[in-house]
Amino acid sequence: MAENVSERIEELYRPSAEVMAQAHVADWEGMAARAGKDFVGFWEEKARELIDWHSPWTKVLDDSNKPFYKWFTGARTNIVYNAIDRHLKGAYRNKLALIWEGESGETRTFSYHALNREVSKFASVLKSLGVKKGDRVTIYMGRVPELPIAMLAVAKIGAVHSVVYGGFSTEALHGRIDDSQSRVLITCDGAFLAGKIIELKRIVDEALKRSAAVEHVVVVKRTCQEVMMEQGRDMWYHDLMGLPIADPKCPTEIVDAEDPLYMLYTSGTTGKPKAIVHSHGGYQVGVATTLKYVFDLKDEDRWWCAADPGWVTGHSYIVYGPLLLGATGFMYEGAPTYPYPDRWWQLIEKYGINVFYTAPTAIRGLMRWGEAWPNRRDLSSLRLLGSVGEPINPEAWRWYHRVIGKERCPIMDTWWQTETGAFQITPLPSMPLKPGSGGRPFFGQEADIYGEDGTPVKDGEEGFLVLKRPWPAMMRTIYNDPDRYVQQYWSKYPGVYLTGDSAKRDKDGYYWIIGRVDDVIKVSGYRLGTAEVESALVSHPSVAEAAVIGLAHEVKGTAIHAYVLLRQGFEGSPALAEELKKHVGAEMGPIAKPEDVSFVASLPKTRSGKIMRRVLKARAQGLSEGDISTLEE
């Protein structure tokens, strides 16, 4: 990781003739120049090419109320119509939409016809439970086919899904249900992961003791252990789907292009996680266009995005993107190393996956098991690889390229965020690649690196990464908090979108992402807020105050380190440290568990009482504490 960026920027991987011959866009420079001259025209063209509309827009981009941009205003649509309904005519009807494999090896497949039946039946069930257009529905499940089915069913009737990652625990779930005011919750009895059961329903029961708004809980049976079913509130999915109310004829609710499709909670600078809102019209255009060009998806491809549907990567590129393009997607339930470290490679071989998309942390984790595991599998079906979630270190890039891609497959290191909905800075298959660089702004986008004062810095210098043009898949607002939307993303530098990342641009116009500049920590690519982890710590009876920071970790990229000030009468011990880690795991989720807990007598604070995490971090790294003139004595 210690390599110097300036040495690396010269390392170029040029696309092979084979890749060039297949690329949807061979002349990316020409296309970028055209889209750069008229980005609104570019998006209008893609909206016509890739998406069907029930009635046309009156305006492609309405920027009369910045930064509340609107796209395709006046148009009528529903993303589910484009993801499923339109494929039911003709050849796609019998094509596989989804192939799924469980951790223990069972397989389920859904043609577009079968997926539609399941989605329509469940949409009818939701209607009969009283779910209406605009209502929020929380989904908290393992990686089973019913997860995308539930999302699509909610969207089909014009309601708004709020998926909570199945790896989160009680308080994280409770906070997200409460904020969204969902009256219906869809979950599973449990989820299989790495040979163990995550007791989702038990966590739901705990969370619902803390919130009151939920009236109905629909439970998918997966792990079959005994669970509590509360009379009048909890119902089994399979029971409901067997009733006449599960009508397979359910019309797709045609909505306004700007009507909300989903909300997704993500951690920001301060306080509680906030719900990012995406809409039907622009989002489908952005997701379909980026997936088509960046991963060069072809009709006959088998695509595997190995993320969890509970994060934005899964929303855009497991559920909506592939279906919009009429592709065949693959989804795997379990852990990459279970029962053996070649599980993923075995699945690539078994299903003949052509394009594979994962995160640097997974690559680093699998690298540690050595080359023999991938080498005993036939990976020759692969054509393109992808990476997302955090900067990929060049060693991991080169390993992925050589051992998995056999030096044939370009790696698309896609930079984007929950807020952006779709890739913003990315390579293209026809573009020369630099290991560790996210490439260049996608068609129609323009990025820059600003100094503190808002002037662009010189090439090679670090600064704040900003996006300068609106794009169709952009977030529309923060649910119930439009002021925060303006304040957090559009206020530091008026007129441009602040990403929260620091980055550099090299002389060739390639971007190098360095990391978050706010209080967001990326643990194994998962985005966590320091505030959320700290409040989980403080909810333990022994803790008076807590501060957490992220420090470099070989596999996780960054790991959480906690500093805890105990209440009177408590004494720090290894046993208490363990208990606090467990407590954070139970409140927030296993991914948020601190790597270690240090007991301290005081925390560095400003005179106004803000914890100076920067100082903690510098101390932990043995670096100078920098400017501490605001430090309280």
Residues that bind ligand WT7 (CB under 6 A): 266, 311-313, 388-391, 413-418, 438, 499-501, 513, 516, 522, 527
Which of 255/385 has CB closer to ligand WT7? 385
What is the layout of strands, in order, in the sheet containing 184-188?
234-236, 216-220, 184-188, 136-140, 160-163, 260-266, 274-279, 477-478
Q: What angle do CA 402, 406, 409 make, to 5 degrees?
A: 95
Least separation in angstroms between CB 525 and ligand WT7? 6
Which of 103/390 has CB closer to ligand WT7? 390
Based on C-alpha coordinates, what's the Rg of the chain? Answer: 24
Least separation in angstroms between CB 312 and ligand WT7? 5
Separation between Cα atoms, residue 319 and residue 630, nearest integer Å: 48
What count of other Cβ atoms lies within 10 Å of the Cβ of residue 252? 24
Of 442, 504, 520, nearest in space to 474 by CA? 442
- Helix (H), strand (E) at residue 254: none
Least separation in angstroms between CB 203 and ligand WT7? 22
| β-strand partners of 70 | 62
Least separation in angstroms between CB 368 and ligand WT7? 21
327 Cβ neighbours under 8 A, 6+ residues apart:
297, 299, 301, 303
Please, what is the angle between helix 170-180 and helix 200-210, to 10°?
Answer: 60
Least separation in angstroms between CB 467 and ligand WT7? 11
**Core vs surface per residue 202-231: b (16+ CB within 10 A) or e:** ebbbbbbeebeebebbbbbbbbeeebeeee
Of 160, 87, 119, nearest in space to 247 by CA? 119
Q: What angle do CA 264, 160, 234 make, to 5 degrees?
A: 95
Least separation in angstroms between CB 453 and ligand WT7? 22
Least separation in angstroms between CB 510 and ligand WT7? 12
Least separation in angstroms between CB 524 and ligand WT7? 11
Is the CB of residue 98 less than 8 Å from the CB of residue 503?
Answer: no
Which of 141/498 has CB closer to ligand WT7? 498
Amino acid in position 452: E
- Strand 274-279 versus strand 70-73 pairing type: unpaired
Least separation in angstroms between CB 314 and ligand WT7? 9
- Strands (E) across 315-389 are located at 328-332, 355-358, 384-387
Which of 411/597 has CB closer to ligand WT7? 411
Which of 390/587 has CB closer to ligand WT7? 390
Separation between Cα atoms, residue 173 and residue 443, nearest integer Å: 37
Least separation in angstroms between CB 501 and ligand WT7? 5
Which of 148/158 has CB closer to ligand WT7? 148
Least separation in angstroms between CB 633 and ligand WT7? 35
Which of 185/513 has CB closer to ligand WT7? 513
Of 526, 585, 599, nearest in space to 558 by CA? 526
Least separation in angstroms between CB 391 and ligand WT7? 4
Q: How far apart are the first and last CA of the chain?
A: 36
- Strand 160-163 versus strand 260-266 pairing type: parallel
Which of 416/599 has CB closer to ligand WT7? 416
- Strand 302-305 versus strand 191-193 pairing type: unpaired
Least separation in angstroms between CB 29 and ligand WT7? 22
Which of 115/173 has CB closer to ligand WT7? 173
Which of 404/422 has CB closer to ligand WT7? 422
Which of 136/522 has CB closer to ligand WT7? 522
Which of 498/580 has CB closer to ligand WT7? 498
Which of 273/604 has CB closer to ligand WT7? 273
DSSP string, 303-322: EEE-S-TTSHHHIIIIIIHH
Separation between Cα atoms, residue 148 and residue 166, nearest integer Å: 13
